[in-house]
A and B are shown apart, each in its own frame.
Chain A
Amino acid sequence: MTRKLRCYAAALGVTVALTLAGCGGSDDGGATSANSKGLEKTTITVGHLPIPDPVALYIAQTKGFFKEEGLTVKPETITGGAVAVPMIESGKLDISQTNYVSTFRAVAAGKKIKLVADMYQAGANTFVIMVPNDSPIKTVADLKGKTILVNNLDNVATLAVETQLKVAGLTKDDVKFAEKPFPDMGNAIKAGQADAGWITEPFITANQSANGFRKLADTMTGQTEDLPIAGWMATEEWVQKYPKTLAAFQRAIAKAQQLASSDRKEIEAMLPKYTKIDAKTASVITLGTYPSELNANRLQKVADLMLEYKYLKSPIDVKSVIAAPASSG
């Protein structure tokens, strides 16, 4: 068995080595010490989901905020937080989008990850439970014994729903959660596979108009009001190795976040450029807010909620997970 495994590893190694010989030169590193701003690394690869949350990355890119800092940013589409962690660990990505629930779970599991900038905070009606218009489910309490679709189990989706169940006097044991990607939820509910779905934009708008779904409950009220959702992360090692590069990234992103939170038109103009959300949809979807400061007190709320609903076994001090920007350049 060990021999086979070793052979397997060796063969994979050979494949890799030959491939390396075959198509070398695709990675240009970007680690140069000679640049005007004294950055340790001038080219960074940043992973993000093709959704409205990381819009600041593209605002900063388009408006030249990164360039002003002497930084070249290569954006890459990622498919979810689960693959983003190994990607920053292997060095494929320098910085990546993450959601806070995933991050704190990873930190609790011993991953050396730092949050480097805030990205997206929930607003009213940005994450809602939806049911078909003719559904007998009229209140959250009616969800007892029903199946609710979420994009990921044991993550922000189930946490947000649980806070609403609690208000209605239910717990997670009173309902059934099932995993389903957002694009497939509408069809699955119509086909009778589930009774309700925890849905975000642009799928809230799409399910309202195409499927005639109605909103049963906003999951970002009460305990989850203004819940921080997503941020930018890097490994602890990366943060220590490239402090000036990080500071440059943080300044550019903060500037873009400010622009995004002050003018919705900036977001609407940017969405069709990096997502498949067209201008018309961009103008009607419900958006959260884009905080420009990484605030430990605000993020602590997520970790505390996770502890309360047993997503964490022991408390996390969020201050220890944050690589806050240096106060002066």
Chain B
Amino acid sequence: MTGARLLRGAVGAAGFIVAGELVIRFVISDDLSFPPPSVILAETVRLLADPDFLAGLGTTLANWAVGLLVATCLAVPLGVLLGSLPPVERAIRPVLEFMRPIPSVAIIPLAILLIPADGMMKVSVIVYASVWPILINTLYGMHDVDPVAKESLRSFGFGPLAVLARVSLPSAAPFVATGVRIAAGIALVLAVSAELIAGGAAGLGVFVVQASSGNRMDLMMAATVWAGLFGVVANLVLLAGERRLFQWHRMRTGARS
């Protein structure tokens, strides 16, 4: 089953690359200078031997990981708190709904002004962007808790904290995990965007800025391929983790993915 799906995915990707190669080489080569996929893929592999690129990749991924971790540590307790105290949630909700749609990339210039330390500035914008999906999903998870289960525990004399620990948290956990997985992608977007806008000593985005100024479209695209590959891998790892941890949740809801 998964083998066949993997095969189909690989065929799709290969077909896309071949189509891109043909279109760029034969259809638009006269009107547009753009490196074909074969050139980009060769550079993508070659980048593994470039210490500057690897240092940059390390910096970007470290920012990504720290940002995602801080966002999770912020958003999950806040979501649980708001989810268990509906009046507080109603009071804060308008503010959240106001802040959530602000494009996170738009706050990068503000962050440059406010936060002098480069790494902290980048991590902060990653945190800002990643908090929302985790927070909103945690809230949904808290709303979704089975009221009968909560009532049963209460009637057996369990206190509110025990109900939270035994029913609400386990029940909301799969939602939290989905929120973290969505946030992982957003965090990567912001990690690279912050570097593209602000520059820095090293980073995937910094590498792209340098390649662009040096007229190396092939290197720009190759670095972008690595960002994409990392995004795919991060998503797969988190998805596999979700499946393993929350097998019971899929059984209960009948969710198939």
Q: Which residues of A contact B (CB under 8 A)?
A: 4, 7-8, 11-12, 15-16, 18-20, 22-23, 26-27, 47, 49-51, 74-79, 83, 86-87, 89-92, 181-183, 186-187, 190-191, 202-203, 206, 210-211, 274-277, 281
Contact = CB atoms under 8 A, between A and B. Distances in A.
Contacts of B94: 4
Residue from the set B66, B198, B201, B206 with the largest chain A CB neighbour count within 10 Å: B198
B70 A18 contact: yes
Contact of A26 (B31, B117, B216): B117
13 contacts: A4-B94, A7-B95, A12-B114, A15-B128, A19-B66, A77-B200, A83-B197, A83-B199, A187-B32, A191-B31, A202-B215, A276-B216, A277-B214
Contact of B198 (A15, A50, A74, A83): A83
A91 B120 CA distance: 13
Given A83-B199, A183-B215, A203-B215, A15 B117 contact: no
Contact of A78 (B123, B131, B199): B199
Given A91-B116, A276-B211, A277-B214, A22 B66 contact: yes
A50 B214 contact: yes
B198 A275 contact: no
* Most chain B Cβ neighbours within 10 Å, of A19, A76, A210: A19
Contacts of B210: 50, 77, 274-276
Nearest to A84: B199
Contacts of B200: 76-77
Contacts of B34: 187
A30 B56 CA distance: 23
Nearest to B94: A4
A77 B201 contact: yes
A23 B123 CA distance: 9
A8 B110 CA distance: 12
Contacts of B24: none
Contacts of B257: none
B123 A19 contact: yes
Contacts of A18: 70, 73-74, 127
B214 A210 contact: no
Contacts of A92: 112, 116-118, 121
B69 interface: yes
Nearest to B56: A77
Contacts of A182: 213, 215
Contacts of B217: 183
- When A and B form their complex, which 4 residue pairs have the shortest distance between CB atoms, in order from nearest? A276-B214, A50-B210, A26-B119, A91-B116
A210 B216 CA distance: 13
A182 B110 CA distance: 26
B208 to A, nearest CB: 10
B177 interface: no
A202 B214 CA distance: 7
Interface in B68-112: 69-70, 73-74, 94-95, 98-99, 107, 109-110, 112
B10 interface: no
Contacts of B109: 83, 86
B212 interface: yes
B165 interface: no
B153 interface: no
B236 interface: no
A181 B123 contact: no
Interface string B188-216: 00000000111111000010011111111
* Most central of B73, B115, B210, B215 by chain A CB within 10 Å: B215
